[in-house]
Copies of this chain bind each other. A is one copy, B any other.
Amino acid sequence: MSTATENPAGTTDGEPGAQALHLRVLDALGEAIVSGELAPGRRLTLDDLQQRYNISRTLARDTMRVLESMNLVYSRRRVGIVVQDPELWNVFDPKLVRWRLASSRRAEQYSSLTELRIAVEPIAAAGAARRAGAAERRQLTALAAELRRLGEAGELEAFLKADIAFHSLLLHSSGNEMFKALDGMVAEVLSSRTQQGLMPFKPRPEALEAHEAVAAAVAAGDAGTAETAMHHILDEVRTAMGLP
């Protein structure tokens, strides 16, 4: 086995420009850890990785370093690479969230994310009411109107898209860089609700009103009202998901 001629990393090798090798290995290993296939405390060596994925030491090290930087593993001389306790993982890393959503533990990840939404989005709405730019306020109002139109027409797919745009824009208008960084995760949660049939055929009128209320409050610069209205939206979500 001089060079990696034998289809490294178990790729099906179908599409040409698939992905960089190190990313595929990273994803594979990350998913293995997150799924519990490689349990906490499990010890690996660079040699294991090289053989398991048929890669060079360079790539094994690259992958390990990234995993280490996410606190999924740590490495010690003479010991090897050890899978960390989940308590220590950087659970805000988008890669990790993605892996968990793809695993059998997806339900837990969703409820964590939903609770995070419940916490953050009202404050983000208040922040937007204080700090959003004029264009953002206009766009938010427009999106709320579009949500009503699409919702009443029962166009669920388009509704989802607009809903994601609404919540994402709100986070971006909040003026808090950490809130902005949550937009991908919120989009993920919203998509999944629709895909898993957790959405009613038509959005409830209360939800439509609440979105309009948020947009109006943000447009008016009324932080308190924006926060409360966003709370109403999330109460909808909470009950829809059967949370307390």
Cβ of A201 under 8 Å from chain B: no
Give the contacting residue for A116; candidates B69, B95, B178; CB below 8 A: B178
The answer to whether A69 and B90 have CB atoms under 8 Å apart is no
Interface assignment of A73: CB less than 8 Å from any CB of chain B: no
| A158 in the interface (beta carbon within 8 A) | no
Residue of B nearest to A185 (CB): B178
Of the residues B89, B120, B123, B178, contact of A113 by C-beta under 8 Å? B178
Q: What is the chain B residue whose CB lies nearest that of A95?
A: B69
Task: Please pick, from B94, B115, B120, the residue contacting A176 in the complex, using a CB distance under 8 A.
Answer: B115
Q: Which residues of B contact A195 (CB under 8 A)?
A: none
Whether the pair A181, B123 counts as a contact (CB closer than 8 A) is no
Instruction: For A75, give the chain B residue with the smallest CB separation.
Output: B20
Could you say which of B62, B90, B95, B127 contacts A94, with CB atoms under 8 Å apart? B90
Interface size on A, residues (CB 8 A): 38
CA distance A69 to B116 in the complex (A): 23
Residues of chain B within 8 A (CB-CB) of A94 are 90
B112:A119 contact, CB within 8 angstroms = no
Q: What B residues does A95 contact at CB under 8 A?
A: 69
Q: Is A86 an interface residue (CB 8 A)?
A: yes
| Interface residues, chain A, with chain B CB atoms under 8 Å away | 22, 58, 61-62, 65-66, 69-70, 86-87, 89-95, 108, 112-113, 115-116, 118-120, 122-124, 127, 130, 176-181, 223, 244
The 8 A-B pairs of least Cβ separation, nearest first, read: A92-B92, A119-B123, A66-B69, A119-B119, A119-B120, A112-B178, A91-B181, A62-B65
